[in-house]
Amino acid sequence: MPELPEAETIASDLRAQVVGSSVVDVRVPFVDVLAPSHTATAFRERIRRCRIREVGRRGKNVVLRLDPDQVMVVNLGMTGRLVVSDSPAAGQLRHIAVRFELEGGRALLYDDVRRFGRIELFSTEQWAERQTELGLEPLSDAFDGAALYARTQRSRSPIRNWLLDQRQVAGIGNIYANEALFRARIHPARPASSLGIRSVRRLRDALVDVLREAVESRGTTLNDYRDGNGEPGNFEPRLRVYGRESGPCPRCARQIRRLVLSNRSAFFCPHCQRNRVRT
């Protein structure tokens, strides 16, 4: 569920509230959200008495750096939430999978209805190594048209599918992939390698724009997403095609259509995103 803007919002909310706090204890009601290499006991022993030094983001992952030196990476899957316990909405959580008890009686709660999320601990070196498997950061200086074009050239997958591959660009999920393709006027089924440099530059700009705007709006809440205080994001009304099948295209007013690519919905305007190759 959470993509880059949602992970970014959560990271900034948590940063303001838990940096400097120490973890005094850990409870793991649902072990299956821990990476398979962690038992609940070993996980608890590694985390307790650690101090949260920094909260950041890489792709869709919320990254907590701890002292003594250790990195806790949270991938929220579809329904994962990280909420501080003293937020008014914390009481509504019904599927708490991990509780990080903090000094002073507060807690950082990891809630996850579907339990598709994963929490994994790394050393700084291990995390650096693992990050080499993640692709470009869309909001970094390295994310320019040339870098994106070099990568799209190597794949014949439909561009919508390609954008979901975290090894290529990190942080894009189904919502923002579809929104960026609409803005760049590229049909979602176009093979990645069929895009010319001009299309790829438009796509790059569209991705940066939509992600920045969504961060500004604190993310998109369709159903489950909540920020670090348990509150929904505000970007949903600004979506132009995602979830708007049969609705009017905001550009030409024709009907938005849905198509299924690799078992996941793609939303597009058949008029504005016409450049489809025959299938």
Which residues does the annotation mark as catalytic? 2-3, 60, 264
- Whose CA is closest to 87, among 65, 104, 109? 109
CB of 21 to DNA, least distance (A): 26
CB of 225 to DNA, least distance (A): 2
Instruction: Compare residues 1 and 55 and give the one whose CB is closer to DNA.
Output: 1
Instruction: Compare residues 75 and 199 and give the one whose CB is closer to DNA.
Output: 75
Residues of this chain that bind DNA (CB under 7 A): 1-3, 6, 32, 59-60, 75, 77-78, 94-95, 113-116, 155-158, 161, 164, 166, 173-175, 192, 219-225, 233, 262-265
CB of 67 to DNA, least distance (A): 26
Instruction: Compare residues 41 and 92 and give the one whose CB is closer to DNA.
Output: 92
Instruction: Compare residues 44 and 115 and give the one whose CB is closer to DNA.
Output: 115
Name the β-bridge partners of 96: 111
CB of 59 to DNA, least distance (A): 7
